[in-house]
Structure 1
């Protein structure tokens, strides 16, 4: 099968962002499919494009700058710039059997539908975030006109999709709420890349030895972006409260983003920066397992907006793959999983003192940490193994092509 994958935020392991789309693309390529990706080199932004081969996947990179440090209007410009580049680029490509368009942003539907109609092939649409629900909830879309346009684009994407793949059960419910048939929605969450996180314990021990501030102290790791939605200030306030009763505990924020300066300022004000809380620049994805190996617990946070409870954060699944308990500060399907499998903590979003008590209790209990980490690993193996996720996506792609061929035969009859 010749598959065109359109994903503005596609990343490979040498980069510092989530790589589930790469796991999916390379997994399909290893099964004999010819996979071509259209994406962006977000650090370049000088115009033009280039092509690389990434483990059997042909990746076409457009040099279009993007960062969560950008104001919303500049991000929207980048979204439409990528959509326009894709449409121009598709005109130069040979026909494909199927188009796989992955949002966010919703604007990937524009080249996705264009390619689908041009080649008369089905499009499968992947929903990584519920757009425009999340931008509206965050205030990124405010005017009635922009909201109406975003709602139209959402319906346009679903209406032209043979199937929709949602990254969480709650996202699937959101898709169905628009009127899209439930029987054509598949739930395929982010996957656990066990191969990448199967590293020697020495990796973590050496990291501890290299950093005197850490040594043998308890470590809570956050590895991800410092964007507005991520709510990393919660971790700073938590670290300040934990410091009062467990001063030897350490918090490490691994990443960067729009809120970094605000996070540093708050950490300085609360007296934890470079004392109990440390900030480290992002590292390539293939170096991240070393930090997970050193951690006793990981964290994934969002700001207190209900629309974000539907998230499917990469860092949650990385923690499962690494066999580390994870703490989150929101409700939703991930919170349900943590409670059901006792593989982490669901911290209250508005009660930092209570959250600190829960964290201190956990960090003081090495038996619980070890057993919760084991249960996290088992949960990942049972429900979120990368190859199982590739199986489910591949089956959906075959179903889309089968339905498309059946419709063509009926139309010709």
Structure 2
């Protein structure tokens, strides 16, 4: 449990892609901020309106909300996963500019926490921290520009140069860094940042949310009756270029000849939604044993996990993705469901060293389908993996413990700065 620390802080969190509890998207900022508030701290969050539900009343360029104690300042900046490169850059720079302006209305900040992506959030974070004379802690959720270069999104030598300079600027001006995986931490150290000032705080498992008494597999199956009585593999997340969700459609195609009763369910949307749909049609699995259900409100996601037999996290086969800290992985642990992944890295090592799930090949849908089928044919093994996943979610990735770890980083940054100026 979180204990109240000796230092009561006003934390200013900058996160462009914040998703309120009612919207689809990463819950990490909300989960952590609400726990920091319970521990006796104040949290102001500057974000964009991009992830707010359509029914949210947004009447101004700057909108103010109190979301479970978090003082949210949402500036009117649009963004979607389907945006092209130039439109994304425009969105990122617009948020950086409006973020600085919005922060002028915030008072008495003790520490600024800039959370990427995008990396451009470092620009307002550094400027705002200097104005308040407080430390800036930078949260690295992806190694950027390593990722866009790896997938070919950044090809121009000039753009690569500018992006790397921005990365160096972000790290150089950070009092401390929170990295979401050991691989990300190693990548930051390789650029010359002191290892002693980096803390790994991975994404977490919100066990209370996913195992709450209100969670009901029956609710989900009543809404989607075509899944009633069928074992199914669930993918719940973004359908972007890096996710490679079309691979799941290829696995579904192979599964039809092995066990046609097994279904594959995709929740979410993104830039490649139509591509995934086209691949599923070509594989003759769409609405047969492969279902694309779109995005669900965040409060309905635990029901989907409860109904699933196996939950999966997918990425395209590039080495840079092995350092990721995918929410889907930790949500599966929170829901006590076996996790299936198709990539290497630290999460694969967790699976190999513990009874929590299975690893499938990145480019072999036939073998992947066989491995899934073999697991589904062993009910006792499924139970064993579910128990292992649930135990790991509680013991190693508890949102309470990881929120406290991040809070320690923020407090330490303030203490170190005060000692230097004393």
TM-score bin (small chain): over 0.9
Compared with structure 1, are the counterparts of its residues 401 and 234 closer, same or farther at alpha carbon in structure 2 (3 Å cutoff)?
Answer: same
Q: Which moved more, 1:97-106 or 1:348-357?
A: 348-357
**Residues 317-340 of structure 1, C-alpha deviations (whole Å, 9 max, x = no match):** 110000000111100001011111
Query: Is 2:129 the partner of 1:116?
Result: yes
Compared with structure 1, are the counterparts of its residues 202 and 181 closer, same or farther at alpha carbon in structure 2 (3 Å cutoff)?
Answer: closer
**Is the CA contact (8 Å cut-off) linking 2:140 and 2:180 kept in structure 1?**
yes
- Deviation of 1:342 after TM superposition, in Å, equals 2.1
SS of the aligned residue for 2:358 comes to: strand
**Residues 345-383 of structure 1, C-alpha deviations (whole Å, 9 max, x = no match):** 111101221111101101122111111011001111111
CA distance in 2, matches of 1:209, 1:25: 34
**Is the CA contact (8 Å cut-off) linking 1:199 and 1:290 kept in structure 2?**
no
Q: What does 1:227-246 correspond to in 2, within 5 Å? A: 227-246=240-259
Determine the structure 2 residue equivalent to 1:169. 182
- Deviation of 1:46 after TM superposition, in Å, equals 8.7
**Residues 198-218 of structure 1, C-alpha deviations (whole Å, 9 max, x = no match):** 144971134324433211111
Query: Is 2:42 the partner of 1:37?
Result: no
Q: 1:297 aligns with which of 307, 310, 320?
A: 310
Query: Is 2:23 the partner of 1:15?
Result: yes
Query: Is 2:159 the partner of 1:146?
Result: yes
**Is the CA contact (8 Å cut-off) linking 1:46 and 1:64 kept in structure 2?**
no
CA distance in 2, matches of 1:394, 1:196: 21
Superposition misfits of 4+ residues, deviation over 2 angstroms: 43-47, 199-202, 205-212
In structure 1, list runs of 5 or more residues that go unmatched.
none
CA distance in 2, matches of 1:80, 1:124: 20
- Deviation of 1:164 after TM superposition, in Å, equals 0.3
**Is the CA contact (8 Å cut-off) linking 2:11 and 2:112 kept in structure 1?**
yes
SS of the aligned residue for 2:216 comes to: helix
Determine the structure 2 residue equivalent to 1:24. 32
TM-score, normalising length: structure 2: 0.94
Determine the structure 2 residue equivalent to 1:213. 226
In structure 2, list runs of 5 or more residues that go unmatched.
1-8
Determine the structure 1 residue equivalent to 2:298. 285
Q: Which moved more, 1:353-362 or 1:40-49?
A: 40-49
SS of the aligned residue for 1:186 comes to: strand
CA distance in 2, matches of 1:201, 1:121: 42
Determine the structure 1 residue equivalent to 2:5. none
Determine the structure 1 residue equivalent to 2:197. 184
**Is the CA contact (8 Å cut-off) linking 1:201 and 1:293 kept in structure 2?**
no
CA distance in 2, matches of 1:394, 1:202: 29
Determine the structure 1 residue equivalent to 2:276. 263
SS of the aligned residue for 1:59 comes to: strand
Determine the structure 1 residue equivalent to 2:4. none
C-alpha root-mean-square deviation of aligned residues, in Å?
1.4
CA distance in 2, matches of 1:376, 1:212: 27
CA distance in 1, matches of 2:34, 2:86: 33
Determine the structure 2 residue equivalent to 1:311. 324
Determine the structure 2 residue equivalent to 1:54. 67
CA distance in 1, matches of 2:215, 2:167: 48
SS of the aligned residue for 1:135 comes to: helix
CA distance in 2, matches of 1:26, 1:288: 20
TM-score, normalising length: structure 1: 0.96
